[in-house]
Amino acid sequence: MVKVELKDGSIKEVEKGTLIVSVVKELSNSLLKKAIVAKLNDKVVDLKTPINEDSKLEVITPEDKEISFEVINHSCAHLLAQAMQRLYKGTLCGVGPAIEEGFYYDFAVPEAVTVDDLAKIEAEMKKIAKEDLAINHYYLLKSDAKAKFSYDKYKIELIDAIDDDNVGIYEQGEYADVCRGPHVISTGRLKNFKLLSVAGAYWRGDSKNEVLTRIYGTCWNTPEELDDYLKLIEDRKARDHRKLGKQLGIFMFDDLVGRGLPMWLPNGFIVRRLLSDYIIDKEIDLGYNHVLTPAIGNVELYKTSGHWAHYKDDMFPKMDVDDESYVLRPMNCPHHMVMFRSQLHSYRELPYRIAEIAADFRFEASGALTGIERTRAFYQNDSHIFCMPSQIGDVFKEVAKLILDVYNDFGFKNYKFRLSLRDPNDTEKYFGNDALWERSERELREVLNQLGVEYYEAIGEAAFYGPKLDVQVKSAIGHDVTLSTIQLDYQLPERFELTYIDEKGEKARPVVIHRAILGSMDRFVAFLLEETKGVFPVWLAPVQAKIIPVNLEYHKEYCDNLVEVFKKNKIRFQTDYRDEKLGYKIREAQTQKIPFQLVVGDNEVKNGTITYRRYGEQAQTTVSVEEFVNMIKDAKENLK
Task: Choose, from 335, 514, 523, 572, the residue flagged as catalytic.
Answer: 514
Task: Choose, from 179, 333, 387, 559, the residue flagged as catalytic.
Answer: 333
Identify whether the C-beta of residue 488 lies closer than 8 Å to the C-beta of residue 335: no
Report CA Rg, the chain: 30
Q: Which residues contact 161 (CB under 8 A, 6 or more apart)?
A: none
Identify whether the C-beta of residue 183 lies closer than 8 Å to the C-beta of residue 96: no
Identify whether the C-beta of residue 525 lies closer than 8 Å to the C-beta of residue 271: yes
- 382 carries an active-site annotation: yes
Q: Which residues contact 618 (CB under 8 A, 6 or more apart)?
A: none
Identify whether the C-beta of residue 37 lies closer than 8 Å to the C-beta of residue 149: no
- 380 carries an active-site annotation: yes
Identify whether the C-beta of residue 305 lies closer than 8 Å to the C-beta of residue 492: yes
Q: Which of 350, 299, 326, 335 is nearest to 503 (CA)?
A: 350
Burial of 303 (0-12, 13-18, 19+ CB in 10 A): middle
Identify whether the C-beta of residue 547 lies closer than 8 Å to the C-beta of residue 578: no
The Cα–Cα gap between 205 and 211 comes to 9
Q: Which of 358, 333, 308 is nearest to 521 (CA)?
A: 358
Strands 211-220 and 102-108: antiparallel
Q: What is the DSSP letter of 612?
A: E
- 445 carries an active-site annotation: no
Beta bridge partners of 354: 289, 384
Number of helices (H), then strands (E), in the chain: 20, 35
Length of the chain: 640
Task: Choose, from 382, 470, 489, 576, the residue flagged as catalytic.
Answer: 382
Q: Which of 384, 382, 390 is nearest to 347 (CA)?
A: 390
Q: Which residues contact 538 (CB under 8 A, 6 or more apart)?
A: 544, 595, 596, 632, 635, 636, 640
- 560 carries an active-site annotation: no
Encode burial over 328-359: b for 16+ CB neighbours within 10 A, e otherwise.
bbbbbbbbbbbbbeeeebebeebbbbbbbbbb
Residue 282 burial (CB count, 10 A): 15
The DSSP secondary structure of 516-585, one letter per residue, reads: EEEEEHHHHHHHHHHHHTT---TTT-S--EEEEESSHHHHHHHHHHHHHHHHHTT--EEE--SSS-HHHH
- Measured CA distances, 584 to 406, 535, 590 (Å): 38, 20, 10
Kindly report whether the peptide bond that precedes residue 182 is cis, defined as omega within 30 degrees of 0. Answer: yes
Task: Choose, from 39, 329, 353, 362, the residue flagged as catalytic.
Answer: 362
Q: Mind spelling out the 3-state secondary structure of 109-155?
A: CCCCCCHHHHHHHHHHHHHHHHHCCEEEEEEEEHHHHHHHCCCCHHH
Q: Is 405 helix (H, G, I), strand (E, B) or coil?
A: helix
Nearest-5° angle of CA 480, CA 483, CA 489? 115
Residue 607 burial (CB count, 10 A): 11
Task: Choose, from 307, 374, 468, 593, the residue flagged as catalytic.
Answer: 468
The Cα–Cα gap between 122 and 84 comes to 10
Task: Choose, from 380, 391, 472, 597, the residue flagged as catalytic.
Answer: 380
- 362 carries an active-site annotation: yes
- 468 carries an active-site annotation: yes
Task: Choose, from 78, 239, 384, 613, the residue flagged as catalytic.
Answer: 384
- 82 carries an active-site annotation: no
The residues annotated as belonging to the active site are 333, 362, 380, 382, 384, 468, 514
